[in-house]
Chain A
Amino acid sequence: MFSVMGGTMKAPDFDYLRPATLDAAIALLASSDGDAMPLAGGQSLMPMMNFRVASPSALIDLADLAELRGISRDGSSIRIGAMTRYAELAASAEVMAALPLFGMALPHIAHDAIRNRGTLGGTIALGDPAAEMPALALALGAKIELAGPDGTRVIDADEFYLGYYETARAPDELIVAIHYPVALSDHRFGFHELTQRHGDYALAGAVVARTAQGHRVAFFGVADRPLRLPALEQALNTNPDVQSALHHLSAIAFTGDVKASAATRQRLAAVALTRALQGMTQ
């Protein structure tokens, strides 16, 4: 995750604010000139502050914002409030039925104690390139609902991840909810990730959604952001044999770091995709 810079492991000082409404929270963010940060489950933000990778002047705790809670189904789409915790997702029969990929991915995200606090909105907002949920959002064609000083907007997950921990969210905007298309009976899903230990961030992972429109394939852990490869999806649509599609992986600018070289990651991505396709839901 982050490298230790030596010295202190304590967070720098900040104001702790706990607004009661979404409007109040946005007003606080807007008046801080980008120095304040939203606090959701804190499962990434607290380590970032302890390592002093983040040093916000204020934390705006989203805990009391009713607007960011709740799971509701509206016809062919399911809306999940940003403050919904991983553990709540796993415990929701509605989510498990509407989004089979969530059941496949959630056990791979960290550990129980972290899933009890971490939220969907937090992981979507953070955009960790190795995180599962941003890749699921891409594979499923999710939409992200943002609220800011000028009102609400909805943006496609495809347009949201711009670079290394960089998203289309403005500093004074909050993610309110994420909208996902509900799985139909003819949809099929696959998920596979390769890690050093259970619960670790993935060295490479692949998420596949197959619908009447064809394949959507998202990768995580491989590059500076979660991504799809339209050419590879097209290849799978015309020939389901994964071997014929793997050469498209070379379009990815693979990450090379202490855990795995770029060449290793390319191989692992091929393995993850192959296994995700082998393990598609029936």
Chain B
Amino acid sequence: MTRTVAIDLTVNGERITASVPSRLNLVDFLRNDLGLTGSHVGCEHGVCGACTLTVDGVAVRGCLMLAAQANGCTVTTVEGLSDQGLSTALQAAFTKRNALQCGFCTPGMLASALAYVNAGGTDDRDAIRAHISGNYCRCTGYQAVVEAICDTIKEART
């Protein structure tokens, strides 16, 4: 019947049409079919946050969305983050604060953090920690990530 689905979407500003297996999830489509390997895959059940990316302006789990469901959507991955509000400042702050080591969590962490700063999140550390609680990092211990997000918010104010 319909075990492949025709989709038409925009990824990092580029229009893409494709025929995908119905069971293919969005992050696998981006990585394997489009070669956008910036989004990472950890747990594949929504817990670790490594696959977090932006669909129609909001952060979502790329492993919990079918490529078929992205038909008609606008998708932004870490490769296309450059002009998303405070993303340049945020990436600079991550570098300055050493908020990444192995980098596995970083694309998802940036997508979550960007949603927070672009939505006008406060520099309250507890609020930042609560917001990124859905993104696991096995290297940094989170402190540097919290500092980087804090810096970005404070700098944007000045």
Residues of A that sit less than 8 Å from B by CB:
1-2, 9-18, 39, 42-43, 46-47, 49-51, 58-59, 61, 63, 87, 107, 110-114, 116-117, 197-199
Contact = CB atoms under 8 A, between A and B. Distances in A.
B46 A114 contact: yes
Contact of B3 (A2, A15, A61, A63): A15
Contact of B115 (A10, A63, A112): A112
Interface residues of B, number: 33
12 contacts: A14-B3, A16-B2, A16-B68, A42-B64, A43-B46, A50-B45, A50-B63, A61-B69, A111-B135, A112-B58, A112-B112, A113-B59
Contacts, number: 102
Contact of A199 (B44, B116, B133): B133
A114 B129 CA distance: 16
B60 interface: yes
Closest 10 A-B residue pairs measured CB to CB? A111-B134, A16-B22, A47-B45, A9-B44, A46-B64, A198-B133, A113-B59, A116-B58, A11-B23, A16-B68
Contacts of A14: 3, 22-23
A11 B116 CA distance: 31
A114 B63 CA distance: 11
A43 B64 contact: yes
B22 A117 contact: no
B29 to A, nearest CB: 13
Contacts of B1: 15, 58
B46 A46 contact: yes
Interface in B14-58: 21-23, 25, 44-46, 49, 52, 58
Residues of A contacting B: mostly = loop
Contacts of B63: 46, 50
A258 to B, nearest CB: 16
Contact of A16 (B66, B112, B129, B135): B66
B134 A117 contact: no
Contacts of A87: 58
A117 B65 contact: yes
B130 interface: yes
B81 to A, nearest CB: 15
A113 B61 contact: yes
A17 B64 contact: no
A198 B132 CA distance: 10
Contacts of A46: 25, 45-46, 63-66
B4 to A, nearest CB: 9
Contact of B59 (A2, A42, A49, A112): A112
Nearest to A16: B22
B5 to A, nearest CB: 5
